[in-house]
Amino acid sequence: MSRPVIIGIAIAVASFSAGLAVAQGVQATGRTPQFENNDVKVWKSVIAPNNPLPLHRHEHPRVLIALKGGTMNILEEDGTADIQPWETGKAYWLPANKPGTRHQDVNTGTAPIEVIVVELKGVS
């Protein structure tokens, strides 16, 4: 192989590797279970901008602790919305969802929102 071809391949490999490293550093939207027993269910949620959680519901009330805050649009399946600003380091009370309803959590900001959610199973 000629020197220009080898340099071209090296540049391509380096560019691919750099892109992969950047992609791996970006947090994707999703939930990570943390703890569960008969009384509580705890998970960490990361909600990336423009990448909402799928439609879901909560049968029980919950406490949310914002690890990395932001503005969340709680978008109900019927089209109604509730904009909630969550400040980093603060806790919030969220009631159980009304029967038969579902919603999506839509991050309206430019950085991921990270929260810990503690759902109280024995309460409706």
51 burial type by CB count under 10 A (0-12 exposed, 13-18 middle, 19+ buried) = middle
pLDDT the model gives residue 124: 76
3-class state of residue 98 by DSSP: coil
pLDDT the model gives residue 123: 84
Q: How far is CA 20 from the centre of its chain?
A: 21
Strands 70-76 and 103-107: antiparallel
pLDDT at 103 over 90: yes
Structure tokens at 88: 């980093």
pLDDT at 111 over 50: yes
Q: What is the pLDDT of residues 23-71, one digit of tens each?
A: 445 579 999 999 999 999 999 999 999 899 999 999 999 999 999 999 9
Q: CA–CA distance from 38 to each of 42, 63, 124 (Å)?
A: 11, 16, 14
For residue 4, which phi and psi values (nearest 5 degrees)? Answer: -60, -35
CATH number of the domain that residue 113 is part of: 2.60.120.10
* Beta-bridge partners for 24: none
Could you tell me if residue 40 is inside a domain? yes
Higher per-residue pLDDT: 26 or 103:
103
Could you tell me if residue 18 is inside a domain? no
Enter the pTM of the model. Answer: 0.77
Could you tell me if residue 7 is inside a domain? no
User: How many domains does the chain divide into?
Assistant: 1
Question: How would residue 12 be classed by pLDDT, with cut points 50, 70 and 90?
Answer: very low
Could you tell me if residue 98 is inside a domain? yes
Instruction: Give CA–CA dist 106/50, Å, rounded.
Output: 7
Domain of residue 91: give its range. 28-120
Higher per-residue pLDDT: 7 or 55:
55
Could you tell me if residue 68 is inside a domain? yes
